[in-house]
Structure 1
């Protein structure tokens, strides 16, 4: 009897508190907790932050594009993954506070409780642009202070990328495809013309989809975890540490990141185009 009533109250209000259920049914909080967790199998979880509320149309686009890319992978296998050069931009701060988990430490039960003062990321930062594939980093550049990412800058970056490809990926320069998001500088007519002239074809990327961009779900989070808690006095120090960290990663590290993209195509299709998550 109580189980049905508790279940009904939860269905009616997913945020209902156990004490409110206990008061309404005149039973103990312990009994309510037992019914919820043992008999009904509920657990309370936090809402997941997502980049954007996806419309049905956008979900359909995401599912369609993931299906197309997965079909191409099914046909060509890892040869398709090895042809992908993925690129993106991200801000890197002179100081980014370490996470709460990173600051955990061993203490005896009688040790004073550690304190952590709330600190925000520094205002000083540099914009990193990076392109990489299953073998490693292909091209890195940092935006000089006062400059902005626009179509002209995007075209300049693509020319630099093509030059790097000729130098370090001579065996695959004719087979590469570019994977980047739908930011305006990437999709402008000027940039599209440059991609065509440089013979750098692209693969489609679903709108509002950082969860399907390898730099966003794989490379940047791990890079920034390394940078957290470090203090840098100049842009040059930030840039040097970023380059050093990138050089220290093995080819298998980058291959693993690209293979995770296939898993996410599957998940996006299974979820009818909804966000994949972490």
Structure 2
């Protein structure tokens, strides 16, 4: 009996339910598993309940009834495939009208035979090209460097701002109502709704400039220069920062901001403009915090005049505490930091992130199922190999990343055999998908890239995690890490290691391809037995002819796939070029981020307070370490913002006592 691709998926789902029933798994757990493994066919809870009822009656047949098998004309399928290929944007009704069949037949052929579905295009404001993404990364990196320089004097000479429309009528957006009451409606502001353009510039101390555009005016270069740039120059001049002081003003890339006349006015001003990445409103503090906060507080003010609204806005902005303005700038730095990290998460290095995700899926697949873990352990026993337990990958922990990647490299050939065995015996589509992902050449190459880079990152991380942190070790460890990464890049050590070990994976792939014909024959025998049990007294001649034709086609496809797998598992020049380019970019990006975070000697000197000898020398000084502790808290404020400062000080006292006791113990041990 020939099954369509969709019917084969239903058979796999029934087999999965049957196996869970035989293993004693509950209906609820089985339903969750089937929904997770077969989302394309959307099995329901009632489907699982019905299958469990049949299995309790010792009915374990997983193939569909013959009555449900209604073969569709192959000529119709070809007609609809040809029409949809030529007209991919047509509707279902248009397909039915053009090919001359009913909508029901066309729907079944499109979904069950051709596995197609009609979707709408996803609307986005702007599609960023590769050049735009690279500009975003480059300019975000430059902006981050500028903010890090200004962090030394607490952002006193840094200003940012933007414009926004504000409606004069601002009703409440939320309210409490009875359970049986209807939700109230709010009318969206239309073209004729009264509104005004508000421009706000601020720094870490608070509001610096507030301007309301007169009614009937638009923001162009002349208006922006006259109402914003010239007042900003006067206000900055009044601050008396000095001739050599670096004063930076930030605003986005609106047409009025980038006009030539505006640029010439800024060139002659007492401040410099901080360039903004293209199409990056998420990196504008006014957009990601200020305007949303301001409009939220304006809710419920009702109908106001322009002057009343301006006064209300000014009161709201003046009422924001100074720590909130400063926290906004710190949050701005965090966002720029994430945008700069897109250099590693970009298109060119996306395979590395995909490799990390697949590695985590492998750990979960074998750790979450004792059966899968037992199959992997059995393969180790057969091959007489030492089993290396897979590790969980946590992206934010360097040690976890390195251990997980290394374990996957050591286990990869055994993982292939285990996944192939699980797919053959249990028809587990997750095993098939993971096998397909892990047998890609770029996955294996990415594992070796991550392994070599993460090894030195792990060593650097251990310097900060040792029991006694010695400040003098930190600069040398950072320099050693960067030198080792440069040595790997310049000497192409990753390429050499991949070439040396590639024959292992090639041999394993050849063995899997040799076993495909054998496993295919086993599957055909199982299919034949189930078909004989289902059809019994029916005439089998036509079915045997179909089955023989399908087997011949599958064998031909299998041989082609085997030849393709053997061919693609040869390392060619393109693979070597991709390896070298990707490893160089990844290493350069890693060194750049290490320099941005850890080359600040002034910041690193704060860790010297954890030196036990210094803690012993200053044990009678109550102010020891408080200044350095404040500097560290400013950097890690996001992780510690829920902890009161009193708790910080209390914990620091405990750490000081521990450091002093360690130092005393070490001195006594040396004397002994």
TM over 0.5: yes
Query: Is 1:26–2:47 an aligned residue pair?
Result: yes
Bigger relative CO (Cα 8 Å, ≥ 6 apart): 1
Q: 1:99 to 1:228 in 2, by over 3 A?
A: same
Moved more, 75-84 or 127-136: 75-84
Pick the aligned partner of 2:234 from 163, 171, 179: 163
RMSD over equivalenced CA pairs, Å:
3.0
Pick the aligned partner of 1:70 from 134, 144, 147: 144
SS at match of 1:77: helix
Q: Is the 8 A contact 1:92 1:125 kept in 2?
A: yes
Question: Tell me, which stretches of 5 or more residues in structure 1 are unaligned?
Answer: 32-47
Mapping of 1:174-189 within 5 angstroms?
Answer: 174-189=245-260
Q: 1:125 to 1:56 in 2, by over 3 A?
A: same
Could you tell me how far apart the structure 1 residues matched to 2:261 and 2:131 are?
27
Pick the aligned partner of 1:55 from 126, 129, 143: 129
Counterpart of 1:96? 170
Deviations 1:185-218 (A, max 9, x none): 1011100000011232111210111100011111
Pick the aligned partner of 1:210 from 276, 281, 284: 281
Moved more, 52-61 or 140-149: 52-61
Counterpart of 1:86? 160
Q: Is the 8 A contact 1:131 1:139 kept in 2?
A: yes
Q: 1:127 to 1:228 in 2, by over 3 A?
A: same
Give the CA deviation at 1:26: 2.2
Moved more, 194-203 or 67-76: 67-76
Q: 1:203 to 1:137 in 2, by over 3 A?
A: same
Q: 1:189 to 1:247 in 2, by over 3 A?
A: same
Give the CA deviation at 1:119: 2.5
Larger Rg: 2
Q: Is the 8 A contact 2:35 2:43 kept in 1?
A: yes
Q: 1:76 to 1:171 in 2, by over 3 A?
A: closer
Could you tell me how far apart the structure 1 residues matched to 2:249 and 2:261 are?
16
Give the CA deviation at 1:176: 1.6
Q: 1:182 to 1:240 in 2, by over 3 A?
A: same
Could you tell me how far apart the structure 2 residues matched to 1:75 and 1:234 are?
43
Q: 1:104 to 1:172 in 2, by over 3 A?
A: farther
Q: 1:73 to 1:150 in 2, by over 3 A?
A: closer
Mapping of 1:105-124 within 5 angstroms?
Answer: 113=181, 115-121=183-189, 123-124=193-194
Question: TM-score w.r.t. structure 2 length?
Answer: 0.33
Pick the aligned partner of 1:194 from 243, 265, 271: 265
Q: 1:241 to 1:266 in 2, by over 3 A?
A: same
SS at match of 2:165: strand
Query: Is 1:6–2:27 an aligned residue pair?
Result: no
SS at match of 1:245: helix
Counterpart of 1:153? 223
Question: Tell me, which stretches of 5 or more residues in structure 2 are unaligned?
Answer: 1-15, 18-31, 53-121, 347-672
Q: In proportion to residue count, which structure has more strand?
A: 1
Query: Is 1:143–2:164 an aligned residue pair?
Result: no
Q: Is the 8 A contact 1:72 1:80 kept in 2?
A: no
Q: Is the 8 A contact 2:156 2:203 kept in 1?
A: yes
Q: 1:246 to 1:50 in 2, by over 3 A?
A: farther
Q: 1:252 to 1:245 in 2, by over 3 A?
A: same
Q: 1:57 to 1:81 in 2, by over 3 A?
A: farther
Could you tell me how far apart the structure 2 residues matched to 1:172 and 1:254 are?
24
Q: In proportion to residue count, which structure has more helix?
A: 2
Q: Is the 8 A contact 2:236 2:270 kept in 1?
A: no
Q: Is the 8 A contact 1:93 1:125 kept in 2?
A: yes
Deviations 1:119-166 (A, max 9, x none): 223710010011111111111110011101000011112101222233
